[in-house]
A and B are shown apart, each in its own frame.
Chain A
Amino acid sequence: MVKIAGIEMKNPVMAASGTFGNEYSKLIDINKLGAVISKSVTLKPKAGNPPPRICETPAGMLNSIGLQNEGLDAFIKTTIPMFSLFEVPLIVNVAGETIEEYVHICKQLSKHSTVKGLELNISCPNVKKGCITFGIDPKATEKLVKAVRKSTKLPLIVKLTPNVTDITQIAKAAVKGGADVLSLINTVLGMAIDIKTKKPKLANITGGLSGPAIKPIAIRMVYQTAQAVKVPIIGVGGITTVEDAVEFFYAGASAIQVGTGSFIDAQAIIKIIEGLKRYQI
């Protein structure tokens, strides 16, 4: 057992937001995971961006899903009860356009005992309003986290974007606002062009890069952040093997999340959990 942000977990390995739904319970025993982080939940249902939404890049992928999700009400009505059937702690990832939205969503979610923690997404690069506009400005980050902190007693994780000049500024601001834990990184803003059609490969033009390609960026940022703040850090970005995971722990992370890795190998997350037993971390 480990405790991350006061949440009891079997191990420090979680499924990252937006990459893991209950579909995976058909392929692996999800009760073995440390925690599952939900897809970002927004106040109103979100249709998402037009396709194509994904494309492959060297050792990575770009996505511009645009936070497609069922919205808070449906999430409470269907997804929370569905997850209450599992033993694995559910951490809900929250995204909003305004401070009021974040606060409202967090308050509502706090009423449900199945929800063991909140992860604030202030880092999605694929929506026009809110979200990343908080995560690239230390003042806005602090103000948002402070407001949310007051509205809930649940453990509060703040998820940071790598699309900034100095991540330690944002990290410090989030901690000042009251974040219990920081998770990093969200996807790296990127773009790809089809040289046959001369057009962007994504309908949204730009998207977020994930997968092994971003691992060195994530390692560097976890390392820098660990030097700058005292709260625990959850490392995420490009983890597909136990060796990748271990590298994050050496960089200063207390836990990790697997995202794109699950698409490539549904069992990757289980293999990482098993593999970590061989390491003294």
Chain B
Amino acid sequence: MIQEDALVLDQKQISDKYFKLTLKSQFISNNSKPGQFVNVKVSPSITPLLRRPISIHKINKENNSFDLLYEIVGAGTEILSKRKVGEKISVLGPLGNGFTIKNTPALLVAGGMGVAPLYFLAEEMKKASIDAVILIGGKRSDSINCEEDFKKLGFNVFVTTEDGSKGEKGLIINLLRNHLNRQAIYACGPKAMLKEISKMAAHKKIGCQVSMESYMACGIGSCKGCAVKTKSGYQMACKDGPVFNAEEIIW
């Protein structure tokens, strides 16, 4: 891991609340794996104080940069969205353990912003010739991201929205029921969704990895702030996770 002031190469507004930020970093672009994240100091000021954890979304080897895909949910992400090309942003990473890629047909399940790390994962699966199906769920059509990007990798993508404005109407869990023939599940999204997926996976005896969210301070395992309750006691989402085997989690 490294802490560095990374140059902003690009900042694109994808839709109302979603942004894609490209940062230059030789080290991070060459040493990261899917599921890992960076802890971002959105501004040099003391408000907001703490760094914000954001998943590594895509690596751009051609210019030693990486992308973050993020949603504005509060003050920190709002400030991040205002940072401009040419400025520098302090990032700490790559952090966390990342997904363990299994050489079996995969099911990637993303709730909302959960697509962010799963796109990086899908790219690696494509490189390793692993077949993957991608499910994306969200509240409305504008909370569905990356559908076309996954398709470009040659994977099948299924979309569901709660209001039916895109794809099937309903919850992602209903969509999941049709895909329980796959051998490994990789999921990222809201905790309630991950809990349901993990129940279903356990029932069908499918290996399932989930990326857990937690509030973080240090991001490296020192402060014990980001505890996740597991069968082997509290584990740190930033260091032992954020990816856990679903059966390990006490929901």
Contact of B50 among A48, A52, A53, A264 (CB under 8 A): A264
Check A267 against B3 for contact (C-beta < 8 Å): yes
B183 within 8 Å of A by Cβ? no
Chain A residues whose C-beta falls within 8 Å of the C-beta of B220 in the assembled complex: 21, 23-24, 26-27
Stretch at the interface among B81-89, B141-149, B172-180, B226-234: B226-234
Known: A21-B221, A23-B220, A47-B233. A55 touches B215 (CB 8 A): yes
Check A263 against B46 for contact (C-beta < 8 Å): no
Known: A48-B234, A59-B47, A266-B3. A23 touches B221 (CB 8 A): yes
Cα distance, A91 to B128, chains bound together (Å): 48
Check A53 against B46 for contact (C-beta < 8 Å): no
Check B49 against A61 for contact (C-beta < 8 Å): yes
B170 within 8 Å of A by Cβ? no
* B residues in contact (CB < 8 Å) with A: 1-3, 41, 46-51, 90, 92, 214-229, 233-234, 239
Check A47 against B3 for contact (C-beta < 8 Å): no
Interface centre among A27, A47, A63, A266 (most CB of B within 10 A): A266
**Number of A-B residue pairs having CB atoms within 8 Å of each other in the complex:** 99
Check B227 against A56 for contact (C-beta < 8 Å): no
Interface residues of A, dominant DSSP: loop
Which 5 pairs of residues, A with B, have the shortest CB-CB distance?
Answer: A21-B222, A54-B225, A23-B220, A263-B217, A68-B224
Known: A51-B214, A263-B217, A265-B90. A65 touches B224 (CB 8 A): yes
Contact of A262 among B90, B216, B218 (CB under 8 A): B218
Contact of A263 among B1, B214, B218, B239 (CB under 8 A): B218
Check B46 against A212 for contact (C-beta < 8 Å): yes
Contact of B222 among A23, A58, A61, A264 (CB under 8 A): A23
Check B49 against A56 for contact (C-beta < 8 Å): yes
B136: min CB distance to chain A, Å: 26
Contact of A264 among B51, B224, B226 (CB under 8 A): B51
Interface residues of B, dominant DSSP: loop
A: number of interface residues (CB 8 Å): 35
Cα distance, A250 to B31, chains bound together (Å): 44
Check B46 against A61 for contact (C-beta < 8 Å): no
Cα distance, A264 to B218, chains bound together (Å): 7
Check B223 against A27 for contact (C-beta < 8 Å): no
B22: min CB distance to chain A, Å: 23
What are 16 of the A-B contact pairs (CB < 8 Å)?
A19-B223, A21-B222, A23-B220, A23-B239, A27-B2, A51-B226, A54-B217, A59-B46, A61-B49, A68-B224, A211-B46, A212-B46, A240-B46, A263-B223, A264-B49, A264-B51
1/0 per residue A137-169: CB within 8 Å of B? Answer: 000000000000000000000000000000000
Of residues 48 through 107 on chain A, the ones whose CB sits less than 8 Å from some CB of chain B are 48, 50-56, 58-61, 63, 65, 68
Chain A residues whose C-beta falls within 8 Å of the C-beta of B46 in the assembled complex: 59, 211-212, 240, 264
Check B222 against A53 for contact (C-beta < 8 Å): no
A190 within 8 Å of B by Cβ? no
Check A65 against B225 for contact (C-beta < 8 Å): yes
